[in-house]
Structure 1
Amino acid sequence: MEIILASASERRHELLKRLFEEFTIKVSDFDESKVSFNGDFGKYVEELSKGKALDVSNKVKKDSLIIAADTIVAFKGKVLLKPKDENDAYNMLKELSGNIHEVYSGITVLNSKTKDLNCDYVKTKIKFSNLTDNEIIDYIKTKEPMDKAGSYGIQGFGGVFVEEIQGCYYNVVGLPLNKLKHMIETLNN
């Protein structure tokens, strides 16, 4: 059975190599605006990942195991997605400075042959140290924040801002490997 990662994320690609030697990447065209946030971060990311998996399943002809994920940062009841521009990145990082936030990743594993579906999510708490304006500005100059939910990448330069982590590190990177491994095992049994 072919393994398909329904994501263009280089980080997810690298992480999935830890579970599978070979897999195909098929990027989803799922319109994320179809999923509205109703206050439940876990259900929100589950629905986003499910939409991506179902979208890709409509494009494959072979029997496949499709893996889709979506990651958000949650802070004070709101969703922090990827920044629109440098000013947006600055404002997000300024908000997160000295505070605790949560990172949620929704994961969906779909067997295209049987149509069996396994959806779940993982939550990790992150405490940022207090950031100076210059630290934020210098970080934005690296361009790293521009394609990351919450405007930072824990696996890159943004990792120096993380004072404490409670939960799965790989969740914050974008693909909680332990949870994914168990989801695949459950779906295959």
Structure 2
Amino acid sequence: MKIVLASASLRRQELLKRIIQDFHIVVSNFSEDSIMYNNDPKDYVIKLSQGKAREVSERIDHEALIIGADTVVVLENKIMGKPKDEGDAFNMLKNLSGKWHKVYSGITLINTKDGKSISDYVCTKVKFSHISDEDIQKYINTGEPMDKAGAYGIQGLGGIFVEAINGCYYNVVGFPLNKISGMLKQMV
């Protein structure tokens, strides 16, 4: 059966190759704005992953196993999405400085042959060291934080801010390999 990743994320594509060599990419057109945040990050990321996987499953015309995923950064129960501009990125990083926050990923797999689907989530706690305004601005000037939830990438230059993590590293990157591998085994 064909495996389809419902994501344009190069990081997710690269990580999925560690589990599966042959898969297809069909970018989801699901509108994330259609899901309201109800102060439950687990529920929120699961609904987002379900929406992405379902939208792709309804568009393809062959049997496939669809993988939908979404990742959010949560500080004090508030979602920190991708920054709108450099000022927004600065504020996010300033707020994360010296604090623990959580990264949630929702994963959904849908088998288009039998309609079976499973969804789950992973949560990782991340601690930032104290970051100076100057270091925040230097990081923003690299451009790296502009397309990342919470305005940082642990796998890139933003990793220098991470003092500690408790949980799955790959979840913070945006694709929890261990969880996804286990879910794939349940579906095949």
TM-score by length of 1: 0.98
Partner of 1:12: 12
Q: How does 1:91-106 map to 2 (within 5 A)?
A: 91-106=91-106
| Aligned mates of 2:142, 2:112 — CA distance in 1 | 40
The secondary structure found in structure 2 opposite 1:154 is coil
The SS at the match of 1:33 is helix
Q: Which residue of 1 aligns with 2:53?
A: 53
TM-score for the superposition, normalised by structure 2: 0.99
Amino acid at match of 1:45: V
| 1:62 Cα offset (Å) | 1.1
- Match of 2:159? 159
Segments of 4+ moved more than 4 angstroms: none
TM-aligned CA deviation for residue 167 of structure 1: 0.1
1:116 counterpart residue number: 116
Q: Distance in 2 between matches of 1:133 and 1:33?
A: 31
Unmatched 5+ residue regions in structure 2?
A: none
What CA distance in whole angstroms lies between the structure 2 residues aligned with 1:43 and 1:181?
A: 21
Alignment of 1:1-189 (within 5 A): 1-188=1-188
- Give 1:119 shift: 0.4
User: Secondary structure, in 3 states, of the residue corresponding to 1:58?
Assistant: helix
Aligned residues: 188
Distance in 2, matches of 1:139 and 1:154, equals: 12
RMSD, aligned CA: 0.5
**Aligned partners of 2:120 and 2:89: how far apart in 1?**
28
| In 2, Cα distance between equivalents of 1:156 and 1:34 | 30
Structure 1 unaligned runs (5+)? none
The secondary structure found in structure 1 opposite 2:159 is helix
Query: The residue matched to 1:170 in structure 2 has which SS?
Result: helix
Residue 185 of structure 1, CA deviation: 1.2
| Superposed displacement of residue 187, structure 1 | 2.2
